Amino acid sequence: MQFFPPDHPLTQALTERDFTEPTAVQTAVMEPAAKDRDLLVSAQTGSGKTVAYGLAIAGTLLGDAPLLEPAGEPLALIVAPTRELALQVHRELTWLYRHAGGRVVSCVGGMDPRAEQRMLARGAHIVVGTPGRLRDHLERGGLRINRLKVVVLDEADEMLDLGFREDLEFILEATPQERRTLLFSATLPKDIVVMAKRYQRDAWRIAVSAGPQGHADIEYRAVRVAPNEIEHAVVNLLRFVESPGALVFCNTREAVRHLQAILLERGFAAVALSGELSQHDRNQALQALRDGRARVCVATDVAARGIDLPNIGLVIHAELPQNAQTLQHRSGRTGRAGRKGVSVLLVLLSRRRRAEQMLQSAGVQAIWSGAPSAEDIRRLDQERLLHSPFLTEELGDDDLAMAKALLAERSPEDIAAALVRMYRSHLPAAEEVFDPGSGPAAPQPRDARTPREPRPRAERPGGLPGEAVWFRLNVGRQKNADPRWLIPMICRQGKITKQEIGVIRIFEHETKFEIDAAAAEKFLASVARIERADVRIEPLDKAPHAEADAPPPRAAAPRADKPAGHKPPVKKKWKAKAVSGRPKPPAL
């Protein structure tokens, strides 16, 4: 990576870190046309943007001098959306500018502001921080920016998503007008373009594309799951995809806590990242992932934004992202620095259309399938054991002597079985999961689609259009059976959709309902696994009659003889006004 002369301090730092081949964004920002200009850069996460703008601002900070002048008021200001990203940028720029005598100071929320003020008072060349904390130091006078030469907005789209627009505008308005402004963003929504026009001058536009399928180093998969098997699918994916580190995304803090507890119970070394954690706990979790004590991180979008964790080869979206941009940000945690990664979306059948639209909007093609089964994982475990270093590495004399002693006492089958038990004892158990349906068909051009024919009427009134199988549920009118809660319960326990349920007949003590014949076998196998004494579902031999089990008609009460000419008393009628859909009783 020869952007500078061999004796340049940044060249020495890059050589020590074995940076030999620059990434596309690093090459782009060092083009002669980009020198000393404002830059508007869009590139995927994990493309080396931190080092890229560290290189891009070197000429502005150093000029032709081999070393930076003594630290005083900062020359560069780096604004990042989250604490983790700011601290990560602080680490990267510290080693990059170490030989140049650079002093880098971080100012982030969750840290002691008085300690940060003391560090700023001692002088800094580069200040890295989050928008809120930087604004606080500016307003209190702890951060002086009269000599500022360059401002970098890192992950600008995320900062706007997190509501930092006012803080960013305050910071940019306070900085000197003659500064350079470098704006880096994974995506360029309208708000980013408007901000660039307002605060940049003659900006050089750089767009680093990741190809027609999104990030070139990420394989996207979409896994069909039943509503009550999301946790089981996560467990099997973590067991199936061989990766030293994995990141599992949930949409709420409660879901993060719940899923982490399940993974810990199954035997995974898992940590959590969410907004309710203190900075100390967040640092501890990240450090456990970096040094290998934890393999899985369960996180929310906000908590995981901007973090760069090593060896993340798998990203699981336990809950669908809100939009295509969030999908890209989440998936960008893997497939970094030229390494391959896998991004898996868990998709309920009811959310499949939304998932397809999101993938199309993100410009990626996903492979659709069911979750890995327990049998698939057992078969893969066998292959991994056969290629394990325990069997492939050369044995020493002590190992051979112990092996001969074991063979003298035990048969080869016993020893092999003991090896298998030892191997499996360290692995979390796989879960039995069902594939709730087939994947989506490839979309056809509108002109090539066949015209939709009217749906044929059901063979039975209100039933399914094709063959159906009847089932019985031991809950009826006596226990307030109602389709509003029966249908979700049947779908949840049988791992089917409501479109596969036909006629529902509710009797006094039981309910009988239809299931599409194509899904009946899967439905029966699923409900057979439910161990609940209060709710039982079992198949019926034949379709019930609508009149069966109906309550008997009420008998007419005998009337006493009345004398001739007797007229019954006239009952007063009242009309009630409807209030909130209910009749109002007469006043007493």
The answer to whether residues 191 and 224 belong to one domain is no
The answer to whether residues 510 and 425 belong to one domain is no
Task: Kindly report which listed range (135-139, 362-366, 394-398) carries the lowest average pLDDT score.
Answer: 394-398
Q: Is residue 463 part of a domain?
A: no
The three-class DSSP label of residue 342 is strand
The answer to whether residues 379 and 509 belong to one domain is no
Note the residue count of the chain: 588
How far apart CA 150 and CA 58 sit, in angstroms, is 10
The CA angle 449-452-454, to the nearest 5 degrees, is: 170
Task: Kindly report which listed range (83-97, 105-119, 335-349, 497-511) carries the lowest average pLDDT score.
Answer: 335-349
Q: Is residue 573 part of a domain?
A: no
pLDDT of residue 533: 56
Mean pLDDT on 430-435: 81
State the DSSP code for 275: T
CATH classification of the domain holding 496: 3.30.70.330
Judge whether 78 and 125 are in contact, CB under 8 Å: no
Q: Is residue 580 part of a domain?
A: no
How far apart CA 550 and CA 93 sit, in angstroms, is 78
The answer to whether residues 102 and 246 belong to one domain is no
Q: Is residue 508 part of a domain?
A: yes
The answer to whether residues 195 and 249 belong to one domain is no
How far apart CA 284 and CA 377 sit, in angstroms, is 32
How far apart CA 351 and CA 356 sit, in angstroms, is 9
Mean pLDDT on 302-325: 82
Judge whether 522 and 496 are in contact, CB under 8 Å: yes
How far apart CA 571 and CA 247 sit, in angstroms, is 73
Q: Is residue 361 part of a domain?
A: yes
Among 207, 225, 259, which residue terminates a domain?
207
pLDDT in tens, 59-78: 999 988 889 999 999 999 99
Q: Is residue 491 part of a domain?
A: yes
Task: Kindly report which listed range (103-112, 230-239, 253-262, 565-574) carries the lowest average pLDDT score.
Answer: 565-574
pLDDT at 241 over 70: yes
pLDDT in tens, 131-168: 999 999 999 999 999 999 999 999 888 888 778 899 99
Among 207, 228, 250, which residue terminates a domain?
207
pLDDT of residue 1: 57
Among 159, 186, 207, which residue terminates a domain?
207
Mean pLDDT on 283-311: 82
Q: What is the pTM assigned to this prediction?
A: 0.60
pLDDT at 325 over 50: yes
The answer to whether residues 125 and 219 belong to one domain is no
How far apart CA 171 and CA 74 sit, in angstroms, is 14
Backbone angles phi, psi at 472, to 5 degrees: -120, 140
Judge whether 28 and 55 are in contact, CB under 8 Å: no
The answer to whether residues 94 and 157 belong to one domain is yes
Q: Output the furthest CA–CA distance in the chain (Å, rounded).
A: 127
Q: Is residue 545 part of a domain?
A: no
Mean pLDDT on 518-528: 86
First to last CA, the chain: 93
Classify the C-alpha dihedral 105-107-111-113 as positive or negative: positive
Q: Is residue 555 part of a domain?
A: no
- List the one residue out of 227, 248, 215, 460 whose CA is nearest residue 348: 227
Query: Is residue 279 very low, low, confident or very high in pLDDT (cuts 50, 70, 90)?
Result: confident
Name the residue with tokens 């001969």: 404
| Domain range for 30 | 9-207
Count of domains observed in the chain: 3
pLDDT in tens, 548-576: 444 444 444 445 454 555 555 554 444 44
pLDDT in tens, 174-214: 999 999 999 998 777 788 888 899 999 989 999 876 544 44
The answer to whether residues 252 and 382 belong to one domain is yes
Name the residue with tokens 């003590």: 509
**Average confidence score pLDDT of the chain:** 82
Classify the C-alpha dihedral 201-205-206-211 as positive or negative: positive
pLDDT: which is higher, 44 or 265 = 265
The answer to whether residues 62 and 161 belong to one domain is yes
pLDDT of residue 389: 74
pLDDT: which is higher, 434 or 287 = 287
The answer to whether residues 285 and 412 belong to one domain is yes
The answer to whether residues 412 and 349 belong to one domain is yes
Backbone angles phi, psi at 377, to 5 degrees: -70, -40
pLDDT of residue 298: 94
The answer to whether residues 290 and 148 belong to one domain is no
Backbone angles phi, psi at 369, to 5 degrees: -165, 175
How far apart CA 393 and CA 382 sit, in angstroms, is 17
